[in-house]
Amino acid sequence: MGQLIDGKEVAARVRAEVKAEAALLRERWGLVPGLAVVRVGDDPASRTYVSSKKKAAAEVGFLSWEYALEADVSQEALLSLVHQLNEDAAVHGILVQLPLPGHLDTDAVLAAVRPEKDVDGFHPVNAGSLLLGRPGARPCTPLGILRLLEEIGCDPAGKRAVVVGRSNIVGKPMALMLLQRHATVTVCHSRSDLPSEVSRADILVVAVGVRELVKGDWVRPGAVVIDVGINRREDGGLVGDVEFARAAQRASFITPVPGGVGPMTVAMLLRNTLEAATRGAGASGTLTEPFPGAGRLAR
C-alpha cells in the first residue's frame, strides 16, 4: 500500500516558513507583502477560491485586497484596474482569478499584469523564462508538486517522469520544471497510448480533469503518483484523475483527493508573493532557504 502524501501538512509548513520570512522582511525593511486578487462575476467556486487565498494571506501577515467585478465588466475596465494595481507600490502580487467570462480576452488580461507582479506565473515573460531556465515566477501548482517530491525525498534526477495533460497552467510547466530537475520527461495527451506510457513512469503527474482517467493497474509498482484532478462524484464527493484505490496498492507514494495537491497551490502562491515583495525590497533571493533545493527551483 502506497504512503499518502499529506498536502495539508506540507502546505502548513510552507505557510509557517512564509510567515516567518514575512516577519523578517517587515523587520528589516518595514515592508509588508501585498496581494491583490481580481475576481470577475459571482461563480461560487471562484468565490470560494478567492476567499481561501485572502484568508491564507492574512494568516501569514500579508496585506490583501479583493476586487470583485460584475460579470459583464468591459475589457477596458478590467485592464484599467490591472494597470492601476501595476502602479500601486503596496501591491507586490496580482492574481486574476480564472476562468474569466467568455467576452473577455484572457490572454490580454494576463499579459497586462507586470511580470514581476505575476504571482501565478502565467505571464508570457515568465513562461518564456521557465522555458529558457531563467529566473521568474513559476506556476503555483507545479511548484507545489516539486515541494511535495522534496518532502518525500524523491529526487527527479535520472527518473522517468510522465505528465498526463498539457495545459499551460499545470502540464507544460510541470514538464519543464521536472526537466530542469534532470528527469526524463514524457508529456501525454488525448492521442497518447496512456496505458503504455503510464506503466513506465517512476513519477506520474496527472492533470486532465477527467474522473479516474488513469487506471490503477497502469501504475508501475513503486511509482510516485501525483493526482492534480478534482472531480465531483454523483454523491457529491470528490475524486481525482487517477483510480485511487488500485493505484495506491501499487504506488510507493500517492496524493489523496482532496488534501493532496490542492493545499499546496495556495501555499506556493504565498511563497511567490513573498518572493515578489523581497525582490521589490532590493534583497536577492529568499530571506531564508525555504526547503532543500529551493534555490535550484528558481533557476
Strand partners, 36: 65, 94
**Residue tagged active-site, from 3, 19, 42, 53:** 53
How many C-beta atoms lie closer than 10 Å to residue 208's C-beta? 21
CA distances to 80, 109, 299 from 77, in Å? 5, 11, 36
Whether 172 is a known active-site residue: answer no
Q: Distance between CA 278 and CA 128 in Å, rounded?
A: 22
**Residue tagged active-site, from 6, 42, 55, 97:** 97
State the cell numbers at 3: 504512503
Pairing of strands 184-188, 160-164: parallel
Cα atoms found within 13 Å of the Cα of residue 242, Cβ hemisphere only = 32
Whether 53 is a known active-site residue: answer yes
Q: Distance between CA 153 and CA 126 in Å, rounded?
A: 28
Output the CA torsion sign for 210, 164, 273, 16.
positive
Work out the burial of residue 63: count CB atoms within 10 Å of its CB; fewer than 13 is exposed, 13-18 middle, 19 or more buried: middle
**Residue tagged active-site, from 117, 118, 120, 202:** 120
CA 277, distance to chain mean position in Å, is: 18
Q: Distance between CA 214 and CA 211 in Å, rounded?
A: 8
Looking at the annotation, which residues are catalytic? 53, 97, 120
